Amino acid sequence: MKKILVPTDFSEYSEYALEVAAQMAKKHESGIVLLHMIGMSESVLANSEIAEEQEAKYYLKLAKKKLKDITKKEYLREIPVEVIIQNYKDFKEVNQVAKEQNCDLVVMGSHGTSGLSDLFVGSNTEKVIRTSEIPVLVIKHQHLDFKVNKMVFASDLENESIPAFKKASALAQLLSASIEIVYINDAGANFMGVDDVRKRVADFKRELDQSVEVHFYNYHTVEGGLFNYCLMNNVDLLVIPTHGRKGFAHFLVGSLAENVSNHAKLPVMTIKL
């Protein structure tokens, strides 16, 4: 892992993400790219050029000071940190910065407390997830000692998720973590009998051509099933494949949010299909 991109809006959740990124950077001798998007408001952009320039200079100066203070944090000592300030309005540009800087991972904070739905609908986190071509690790609370011993890859057992699993498997190896696959057999229109699920799992494992445990778990919602499975099996990181509005993420839209504190704290990583 060469570089980790951390978008920051100077919130406590952004700092949680930066602390985790710093721990990972020290362990893997990586650098950190700290990105802040000023995001000038439409009202500012509608002002005269002189007023706009003065406003932009003020926010730029303020952002530079805050970023300088952040880079002096004790937990960033001896880590190469590069600071980038942009005035992007479109969050897909986070992906562009990641590519330009050859980053391997995006780590960002989220204040979401009601499960996975808030990651995929309307939030800034969702905007990054939807467009990022590299894995995005979402941190929801402070981790003074971030360790990943066990990862779970959520799958719909379709072959298109196999490349994403292989990326997750490589990351698990890098983190010295175990990884397994789980399929949530929800109570909706897609519910299958035990024999059908077992056949689907067997077919998927054959196509995967890799030795890995594949489990299925019955629950009334996909989202609730994922969180309960992770909670019952002491999972440290949940990995979800997605490609924008399609793929696995769309199963979560509209599902019942499980407002359970332990669930909300679980780190989630998304990998684009």
DSSP state letter for 248: G
Task: Find the helix packing angle between 162-174 and 194-208, rounded to 10°.
Answer: 70
Per-residue pLDDT for the chain (273 aa), expressed as one digit of tens each? 899 999 998 999 999 999 999 999 999 999 999 999 876 554 444 555 666 667 777 888 888 999 999 999 999 999 999 999 887 666 778 899 999 999 999 999 887 655 555 554 446 777 788 888 999 999 988 999 999 999 999 998 888 889 999 999 999 999 999 999 999 888 776 778 888 888 989 999 999 888 899 999 998 888 888 888 999 999 999 998 886 554 444 444 433 333 333 455 789 998 988
- In degrees, rounded to 5, the angle at the alpha carbon of residue 20 between the alpha carbons of residues 228 and 226 is 15
HSE toward the beta carbon, residue 121, CA cutoff 13 A: 12
CB 6 within 8 A of CB 33: yes
Structural domains for the chain: 1-109 (3.40.50.620), 142-273 (3.40.50.620)
Whole-model pTM: value is 0.85
3-state secondary structure (DSSP) of residue 194: helix
Q: Where are the beta strands (DSSP E) in 87-131?
A: 105-109
**Alpha helices, H only, 89-182:** 92-100, 117-120, 124-131, 162-174
